[in-house]
């Protein structure tokens, strides 16, 4: 049966922190019963809230499949997955140097005393991995008009696409960023968690 309580609206808070290979200790803080994960994330020193965003958060999957065609059929007899991609896109509305670092995929050490070095890297250098956690509204709680909470944790994200921003007389400076997500050693890109028992 259809219900309006399954319609989700509202923006998410986005946190950037350490990546996770799926083994050892997960660097994201543990879930605390009845406490919003937004509050839990804000209390950690290793995860940073990117602040205001524009145009929301978009998560895109891009599976690719190959057909196995046979002589006796006019179509494929079978298909199998031969590739997968996952991207996460948003726009940072706070044009801080810390957000520029993330957009450009640079090390935090390239920012010192309010000065950001534009680092070209070196030949053969691998991209910098980070972790991403987004905390937003979930479904409506039963017997209430208040929303639950939905959390996305992408274990490994990389900013590897070109990006541009402008300094304009009539518009705010917005920093668009698209992250390419990679699976952890477990083969999982991350987790999505719904919680209804949060304040």
In the predicted model, is pLDDT for residue 11 greater than 90? yes
Q: What is the pLDDT of residue 199?
A: 78
In angstroms, the CA 45 to CA 48 distance is: 7
Could you report the per-residue pLDDT of 56-107, keeping only the tens digit for each? 999 999 999 999 999 999 999 999 999 999 999 999 999 999 999 999 999 9
Distances from the Cα of 66 to the Cα of 72, 76, 77, 81, angstroms: 18, 9, 11, 6
In angstroms, the CA 171 to CA 51 distance is: 18
Q: What is the pLDDT of residue 142?
A: 86
In the predicted model, is pLDDT for residue 144 greater than 90? no
Domain boundaries, the chain: 12-112+128-195
Q: What is the pLDDT of residue 143?
A: 85
DSSP secondary structure of 17-38: E----SSS--SSPPP-TTS-HH
Helix H or strand E encompassing 41: helix 37-42
Is the entire prediction scored with pTM above 0.85?
Answer: yes
What does the DSSP 8-state code read for residue 125? P
């Amino acid at each position: 049966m259809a219900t309006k309580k399954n319609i989700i609206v509202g923006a998410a808070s986005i946190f950037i922190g350490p990546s996770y290979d799926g083994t050892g200790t997960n660097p994201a803080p543990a879930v605390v019963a009845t406490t919003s994960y937004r509050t839990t994330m804000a209390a950690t020193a290793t995860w940073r809230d990117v602040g205001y965003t524009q145009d929301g958060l978009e998560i895109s999957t891009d599976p690719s499949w190959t057909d196995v065609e046979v002589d006796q059929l006019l179509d494929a007899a079978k298909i199998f997955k031969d590739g997968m991609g996952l991207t996460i896109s948003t726009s940072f509305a706070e044009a801080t140097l810390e957000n520029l670092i993330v957009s450009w995929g640079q090390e935090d050490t390239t920012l010192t005393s309010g000065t950001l070095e534009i680092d070209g890297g070196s030949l053969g250098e691998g991209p910098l991995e980070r972790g991403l956690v987004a905390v937003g509204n979930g479904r409506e709680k039963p017997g209430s008009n208040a929303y639950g909470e939905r959390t996305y944790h992408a274990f490994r994200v990389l900013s590897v696409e070109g990006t541009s921003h402008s300094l304009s007389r009539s518009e705010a400076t917005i920093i668009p960023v698209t992250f390419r997500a990679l699976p952890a050693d477990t083969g999982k890109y991350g987790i999505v968690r719904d919680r209804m028992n949060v304040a």
